[in-house]
């Protein structure tokens, strides 16, 4: 079992879904966790309760990750609660909506890019002083199967933003290696037990997606969280600049 005892982690977008699963999994392996949320205060509080029941420290903090001032405040408050920072998981993101390119406004493209790619950049930037002060660290970003295959109908902006996350991850890995900070991305495919596909995909499309998966089933948030625990661990110290696909074999190889 990976041992994260004493590690201090911030997970963005951790009020529900994959982010919540990652926050709880990190705590299960010994980490203290700040649970960031945007709008889901009640659900974030429930995640904090789950972590506290494990005997770990946890607090829920709100912030709009598209606002630099709020992100800077989030990192200041998070590191204050934790006494530093060792692990940053940039999970916050959103499809926003399915829009065909011919009908897409500049504002929609910019909004999708901001909440997925630029928000990751500004969160990492704000976290760097604390990670450097710790002497080493782990940064985990959230890409997507869409970054590999262009996404489903109306998801061009999302696919482009998530492909950008992969490029950002690779660049950060090179730049931060001298600081003993690893940077890796997770690229989930169809994760069936979250709100994402229930919100943005029809039941027919969800069924067709699952039927096409080589493993014959959808994934779970817990399976993505297990990959995050590995990337946050000491055992992954030689792994950086990579994207770990958690997609049941769906990504082009």
pLDDT in tens, 182-214: 999 999 999 987 776 666 667 777 777 888 888
Average pLDDT over residues 82-102: 97
pLDDT at residue 197, as a whole number: 66
Has 37 been annotated as catalytic? no
Annotated active-site residue in 37, 158, 190, 230: 158
Lowest model confidence (mean pLDDT) among 29-33, 204-208, 211-215, 218-222: 204-208
What integer pLDDT is reported at residue 200 of this predicted model?
Answer: 60
Q: How far, in Å, are 10, 75, 145 from residue 34 at the CA level?
A: 5, 10, 27
Q: What is the mean pLDDT of the segment spanning 83-107?
A: 97
Q: Side-chain half-sphere of 109: how many Cα atoms within 13 Å? A: 10
Give the residues across from 185 on adjacent strands: 141, 243
Q: What percent of the chain is modeled with pLDDT above 90?
A: 88
Instruction: Please enumerate in sequence order all residues whose Cβ is within 8 A of that of 244, keeping only pairs 6 or more positions apart, or say none.
Output: 184, 185, 186, 187, 227, 231
Residue 154: is its pLDDT beyond 80?
yes
Given phi > 0 = left and psi -120 to 50 = alpha, else beta, which region is 243? beta
Which structural domains are found in the chain, ordered by start?
A: 8-246 (3.40.50.720)
Task: Name the region of 151 (left: φ>0; alpha: ψ -120 to 50; beta: rest).
Answer: left
Q: Name 128's Cβ contacts closer than 8 Å, sequence gap at least 6.
A: 176
Predicted TM-score (pTM) of the model is 0.95
């Amino acid at each position: 079992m990976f041992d994260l005892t004493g590690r201090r982690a911030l997970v963005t977008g951790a009020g529900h879904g994959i982010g919540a699963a990652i926050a709880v999994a990190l705590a299960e392996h010994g980490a203290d966790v700040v649970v960031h949320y945007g709008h889901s205060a009640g659900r974030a509080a429930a995640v904090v309760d789950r972590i506290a029941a494990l005997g770990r420290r946890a607090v829920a903090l709100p912030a709009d990750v598209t606002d630099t001032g709020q992100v800077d405040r989030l990192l200041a408050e998070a590191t204050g609660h934790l006494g530093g920072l060792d692990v940053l998981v940039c999970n916050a993101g959103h499809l926003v909506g399915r829009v065909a390119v011919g009908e897409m406004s500049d504002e929609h493209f910019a909004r999708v890019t901001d909440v997925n790619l630029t928000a990751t950049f500004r969160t990492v930037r704000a976290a760097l002083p604390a990670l450097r002060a710790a002497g080493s660290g782990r940064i985990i970003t959230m890409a997507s199967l869409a970054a590999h295959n262009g996404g489903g109908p109306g998801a061009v902006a999302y696919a482009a933003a998530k492909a950008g996350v992969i490029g950002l991850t690779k660049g950060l890995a090179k730049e931060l290696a001298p600081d003993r900070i690893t940077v890796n991305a997770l690229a989930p495919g169809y994760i069936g037990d979250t709100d994402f596909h229930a919100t943005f995909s029809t039941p027919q499309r969800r069924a067709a997606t699952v039927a096409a998966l080589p493993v014959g089933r959808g994934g779970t948030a817990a399976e993505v969280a297990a990959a995050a625990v590995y990337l946050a661990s000491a055992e992954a110290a030689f792994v950086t600049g990579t994207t770990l696909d958690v997609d049941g074999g769906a990504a082009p190889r």
